[in-house]
A and B are shown apart, each in its own frame.
Chain A
């Protein structure tokens, strides 16, 4: 089981080390972690994807909750939230393959953001499945380099997770 957590933390130095240190120390597996500031500049938001059953999730949540700099923790169920990640994929391309790669990018609504003599850089945004799918499709042309962001997630509709409402 995977769980996506939205964790609001104080925007202070060292907070990331406290959170990541806790995960490694307690043997929790982080699948993905993304962090950035929010609408409130004193608050940062981490999106953490962890693998584990409900018991692990309970431990993760309560251990995180003990960190003084952690303000709130919300579990984002997949059917009630959206998540996105971004990937930059450098693919080998020559005159023969270039147009085919561009077509594939098009189908995935990805963008070509750099064109070199022997490569293209494809930028794709989407959920986990979409990024895996395009990566698989481009694999046969030869992926030279791949970089991905951590996933970020948000609950659907009016439900809000903000620093102010806790």
Chain B
């Protein structure tokens, strides 16, 4: 050992500094003692959560809000397994996070040692890649690779399992300058021939629709999308994860497609003769009955992940590549394109006018949609995070998102409990933004312990609970498809959310009539700490429009609106 050698724990922190990590969401434990001892003096901000799942979701929210890699840290065994839901969530939505877990010392691995769990085995199907460090000399390049893999190509979570003895061993540390991975080549050149073919398909099309997904946001390609759409004057539908990729108030915006999408987005897809798909993956929540999806359309599919091509649907022209450069190239081939007949846009405009999103307003009882609309009126540039269920769909439908990374939601996995810790992470990453978690009463209770984290770390978010006393989305299906047999979905009066907030030293506000919504929002916006607003909403309100599971997306249920 020479004078310049340092411990694995010190080296890990040096690696993280090198990667520009400013924040870690974590929770300590036995095998992490040496690492936490180093963190104590480090200038990396460590945010002590109250449950490791909260750390993983916070790292995820941080990553989605900032575009940087989020980092979470947990001890071996139960700490590591508590991360699993958060890692799976990040995997499904292609979010770049690096999860670091402590592990029992290398000589004890495989012996069912105290707090040992095979976390690399467990997370094999839910990580983009993972590592178990068995030799301290591997540590620097493993960390370098982990950040590179997490953030490039189709991003995703990478896990590093770090045995305790590696953190205390000393070695000669040097951080690698570059990574060399012969099996991983995320930079894909734009295929000009295919782009030209796409351009001619677009020129020939009479009824094009752009179907944009989360890939556009990941690729930071919102401006390229806007330009392309305006060049070819095609309407744009944005998936749940694509919301914010295209300005919601733009005349070409169709809103969300699929199960709870707008009628006009679904009709447009069904009548379209060309679907220009960018960074989206034909999820079953979007396509409904797959054989009846976009029956008249040729399909162009632009995606960075070749495995998405043809996975769910037959594609006429795949273009593998990064959404931004591909759309830019496509746009340049179409410059000055003859505007096609106005018929298609007129038809869409008529659908929009005649069949808008709608709900029955009320003077006496709060409609959850109205709460979302009033948030939009009060703070249109806030970052909106959601839980899962009806609350999520209303947030997606009734807030108008103008820019990317302002709508953060658990799409692929649909994880209840995601919203609040993700909001916390988003706020840490974007301290100057207003961050609001549009929550359900069920979901919020899955991660409400993080109220302690936001209180202790002065993280201000607004939790807007659309409190319907129910696992509302499940209750809605029971009402519509299971003869109103409400089996175990009533959770009314679980807890007094106002007192719960106050118990953590935070602010709680209850609103039980529509006239009180806007003042509660103003009060929450002005507050100096996290506020939980308990909006007591209509327990029987449903999310419409709705395409029943397995139906074609133009077979839509909608409510009767009282005129």
Hey, which bits of chain A sit against chain B, CB under 8 A? Answer: 9-10, 14, 17-18, 21-22, 25, 55, 58-59, 62-63, 65-72, 163, 166
Contact indicator B307/A65 (Cβ below 8 Å): yes
B153 — nearest CB in chain A belongs to which residue? A66
Min distance, Cβ A114 to any Cβ of chain B, angstroms: 36
Bound together, the chains give a CA A149 to CA B280 distance in angstroms of: 42
Contact indicator B307/A25 (Cβ below 8 Å): no
Bound together, the chains give a CA A163 to CA B531 distance in angstroms of: 58
Hey, which bits of chain B sit against chain A, CB under 8 A? Answer: 120-121, 124-125, 128-129, 132, 149, 181-184, 305-307, 309-311
Min distance, Cβ A162 to any Cβ of chain B, angstroms: 12
Contact indicator B125/A65 (Cβ below 8 Å): no
B183 — nearest CB in chain A belongs to which residue? A71
Contact indicator B306/A25 (Cβ below 8 Å): no
Contact indicator A68/B310 (Cβ below 8 Å): no
A65/B120 contact (C-beta < 8 A), A70-B183, A71-B183 known? no
Bound together, the chains give a CA A163 to CA B149 distance in angstroms of: 21
Interface CB pairs A-B, < 8 A, 19: A10-B183, A14-B132, A17-B121, A17-B124, A18-B124, A21-B125, A22-B125, A55-B310, A58-B310, A62-B306, A62-B309, A63-B307, A65-B306, A66-B305, A68-B128, A68-B129, A69-B183, A71-B183, A72-B183
Determine the chain B residues whose CB is within 8 A of the CB of A21 once the complex forms.
124-125
Determine the chain B residues whose CB is within 8 A of the CB of A14 once the complex forms.
120, 132
Determine the chain B residues whose CB is within 8 A of the CB of A58 once the complex forms.
309-310
Determine the chain A residues whose CB is within 8 A of the CB of B181 once the complex forms.
68
Determine the chain A residues whose CB is within 8 A of the CB of B121 once the complex forms.
17
Bound together, the chains give a CA A71 to CA B185 distance in angstroms of: 10
Min distance, Cβ A142 to any Cβ of chain B, angstroms: 42
Contact indicator A71/B310 (Cβ below 8 Å): no
Min distance, Cβ A148 to any Cβ of chain B, angstroms: 28
Bound together, the chains give a CA A65 to CA B149 distance in angstroms of: 14
Contact indicator B184/A68 (Cβ below 8 Å): yes
The 9 closest A-B pairs by CB, nearest first: A62-B307, A62-B306, A71-B183, A68-B129, A63-B307, A68-B184, A70-B183, A25-B125, A21-B124
Contact indicator B182/A166 (Cβ below 8 Å): yes
Bound together, the chains give a CA A14 to CA B309 distance in angstroms of: 28
Q: Among the listed B124, B183, B306, which residue makes an inter-chain contact with A68, where contact means beta carbons less than 8 Å apart?
A: B183
Determine the chain A residues whose CB is within 8 A of the CB of B128 once the complex forms.
66, 68
Contact indicator A59/B310 (Cβ below 8 Å): yes
Min distance, Cβ B178 to any Cβ of chain A, angstroms: 16
Determine the chain A residues whose CB is within 8 A of the CB of B149 once the complex forms.
68
A68 — nearest CB in chain B belongs to which residue? B129
Contact indicator A71/B124 (Cβ below 8 Å): no
Min distance, Cβ A119 to any Cβ of chain B, angstroms: 38
B314 — nearest CB in chain A belongs to which residue? A55
Determine the chain A residues whose CB is within 8 A of the CB of B182 once the complex forms.
10, 71, 163, 166
A59/B125 contact (C-beta < 8 A), A14-B120, A68-B149, A68-B183 known? no
Determine the chain B residues whose CB is within 8 A of the CB of A9 once the complex forms.
183
Which of B121, B181, B182, B184 has the largest number of chain A CB atoms within 10 A?
Answer: B182
Determine the chain B residues whose CB is within 8 A of the CB of A59 once the complex forms.
307, 310-311
Which of B121, B306, B307, B311 has the largest number of chain A CB atoms within 10 A?
Answer: B307
Bound together, the chains give a CA A104 to CA B129 distance in angstroms of: 50
Determine the chain B residues whose CB is within 8 A of the CB of A62 once the complex forms.
305-307, 309
Bound together, the chains give a CA A59 to CA B184 distance in angstroms of: 18
Min distance, Cβ A47 to any Cβ of chain B, angstroms: 18
B311 — nearest CB in chain A belongs to which residue? A59
Bound together, the chains give a CA A18 to CA B123 distance in angstroms of: 11
Determine the chain B residues whose CB is within 8 A of the CB of A17 once the complex forms.
121, 124
Determine the chain A residues whose CB is within 8 A of the CB of B124 once the complex forms.
17-18, 21
Min distance, Cβ A137 to any Cβ of chain B, angstroms: 43
- New contact pairs (17) apart from A14-B132, A68-B129, A70-B183, CB-CB < 8 Å: A10-B183, A14-B120, A17-B121, A17-B124, A21-B125, A58-B309, A58-B310, A59-B311, A62-B305, A62-B307, A63-B307, A66-B128, A68-B149, A68-B181, A68-B184, A72-B183, A163-B182
Min distance, Cβ A41 to any Cβ of chain B, angstroms: 14
Bound together, the chains give a CA A125 to CA B174 distance in angstroms of: 51
Bound together, the chains give a CA A59 to CA B149 distance in angstroms of: 21
Min distance, Cβ B42 to any Cβ of chain A, angstroms: 29
Min distance, Cβ A92 to any Cβ of chain B, angstroms: 41
Bound together, the chains give a CA A55 to CA B312 distance in angstroms of: 10
Q: Among the listed B120, B132, B183, B309, which residue makes an inter-chain contact with A67, where contact means beta carbons less than 8 Å apart?
A: B183
Min distance, Cβ B138 to any Cβ of chain A, angstroms: 11
Determine the chain B residues whose CB is within 8 A of the CB of A67 once the complex forms.
183
Which of B129, B132, B183 has the largest number of chain A CB atoms within 10 A?
Answer: B183
A24 — nearest CB in chain B belongs to which residue? B125
Min distance, Cβ B378 to any Cβ of chain A, angstroms: 43
Determine the chain A residues whose CB is within 8 A of the CB of B307 once the complex forms.
59, 62-63, 65-66
Min distance, Cβ A48 to any Cβ of chain B, angstroms: 16
Bound together, the chains give a CA A70 to CA B183 distance in angstroms of: 5
Determine the chain A residues whose CB is within 8 A of the CB of B132 once the complex forms.
14
